Structure 1
Amino acid sequence: MGNSATLSITFSVRREAVDPLQLQQLFDEGAFWAQNRSIQKLEQMLACSNPVVAAHADGKLVGFARATSDGVFRATIWDVVVHPQHQAFGIGRQLLQILLEQPQLKEVERVYLMTTFQQGFYEKLGFGRNSSTTMVLVQSEA
């Protein structure tokens, strides 16, 4: 596979654009916290996540992010992953920017996420550290 600089990356917010088998492969190859998830569980996860964002290169899923939200006060971002061969090309940043612009998240007061090693990446996008591995983006003070 070529590098992302020469590939055309397309983004989709349609849940139907995410093939659970390709998602399983992406998690197994690029997400230590999400390896060995069953297809059945991934299908259930997709059905209960809104919004989701997928990045494809030449028809292959190379990036994914999802969230859950009450649409007003709180949201949590989950499972932000970019295939190792496609990292460092801005795909993760674009996944998060698209995710945060979705109606389910755009007006939410606080957006949370948990991360083990990528605090610096999320800080560049406006997230701030707190006393745990949870990070929060305060979008408005209510």
Structure 2
Amino acid sequence: MSYEINCERPNAQELANLLEAVGWGVNALDALQTSIAAYTETVCARDLDGVLVGYVSVFSDGVFTTMFGEVVVHPEHQNQGIGTDMFQAIEKRFPNAPMYVKTLGTSEKFFQAIGFQSSALPQAVLFKAAKLNSMD
């Protein structure tokens, strides 16, 4: 299958469709639009009909850090080089900033295959849940 990779922002509905296809559930369109707009760069992979089949989002200062947010490829289009090509687009966009990614599930093998390495120092991913609709 052929596809195109472009630095562009998808619309919220097509991203919602992709996220649902990969098992990330149903997402509110307004929340997705806010997320899409917040990233420094997003890369989309589209099939020849223009359907979104891959999405990568990053925050980057272009110098010290490029941090990946979402990395998603539709299950029917995985193992075709789409993820690798989207990462290469980000590398071209931010060639001077080290890249960082948090891995979930079995994704660590993919990232290692495209050149990412584990840190020699112990690391942890820490988070603090957002307060939703708090009246405090």
> Same fold per TM (> 0.5)?
yes
**Structure 2 unaligned runs (5+)?**
126-136
How far does residue 132 in structure 1 lie from its aligned partner after superposition? 4.4
Cα distance between partner residues in 2 of 1:100 and 1:41: 27
Paired residues in the alignment total 121
Structure whose residues are more often helix by fraction? 1
Match of 1:140 in 2: none
- 8 A contact 1:115–1:133 mirrored in 2: no
Of the candidates 24, 29, 34, which is equivalent to residue 39 of structure 1? 29
- 8 A contact 2:11–2:33 mirrored in 1: no
| 1:49 and 2:43 aligned | no
Match of 2:78 in 1: 87
Match of 2:112 in 1: 123
AA paired with 2:95? K
Cα distance between partner residues in 2 of 1:107 and 1:122: 19
1:100-131 Cα offsets, whole Å, 9 max, x none, are 211xx2211x2111112211111122111133
What is the TM-score with the length of structure 1 in the denominator?
Answer: 0.78
Cα distance between partner residues in 1 of 2:78 and 2:58: 21
Structure whose residues are more often strand by fraction? 1
Cα distance between partner residues in 1 of 2:86 and 2:14: 17
**Structure 1 unaligned runs (5+)?**
135-142
How far does residue 63 in structure 1 lie from its aligned partner after superposition? 0.4
- After TM superposition, the structure 1 = structure 2 runs for residues 45-124 of structure 1, keeping only pairs within 5 Å, are 45-57=35-47, 58-102=49-93, 105-108=94-97, 110-116=98-104, 117-124=106-113
What is the TM-score with the length of structure 2 in the denominator?
Answer: 0.81
| 1:23 and 2:15 aligned | yes
